[in-house]
Amino acid sequence: MTLFRAFLLLCVVLAGLLLAIWRGWLDVPPRWNPWAVLDIRETPNLLTSFKLWRLQDDPALCQQALNTSSLRFTPQADSSPEVACPLNNTLRVHSSGVAFSSSFIASCPLAAAFALFEQHDLQPTAQSVFGQRVARVEHVGSFACRTIAGSQRRSQHASANALDIIGFRLADGRRISVLQDWPKEGKNAEFLRQVQQAACKRFNTTLGPEYNAAHRDHFHVDMGLWRMCR
What pLDDT is stored for residue 226 in this prediction? 86
pLDDT by residue (tens digit) across 113-127?
999 999 999 999 999
* pLDDT > 50? residue 13: no
Kindly report the backbone phi and psi dihedral angles of residue 191, in degrees, each rounded to the nearest multiple of 5, phi listed first: -60, -50
**Strand 175-177 versus strand 162-170 pairing type:** antiparallel
DSSP state of 38: P
At residue 61, the 3 state secondary structure works out as helix
- Alpha-carbon distance of 149 to 31, in angstroms, equals 39
Query: Do 108 and 90 form a contact (C-beta atoms < 8 A)?
Result: yes
Alpha-helical regions (H) of 48-152: 48-54, 59-66, 108-117, 123-130
Kindly report the backbone phi and psi dihedral angles of residue 144, in degrees, each rounded to the nearest multiple of 5, phi listed first: -155, 120
pLDDT by residue (tens digit) across 132-191?
999 999 999 999 999 887 777 889 999 999 999 999 999 999 999 999 999 999 999 999
pLDDT by residue (tens digit) across 79-118?
888 788 999 999 999 999 999 999 999 999 999 999 999 9
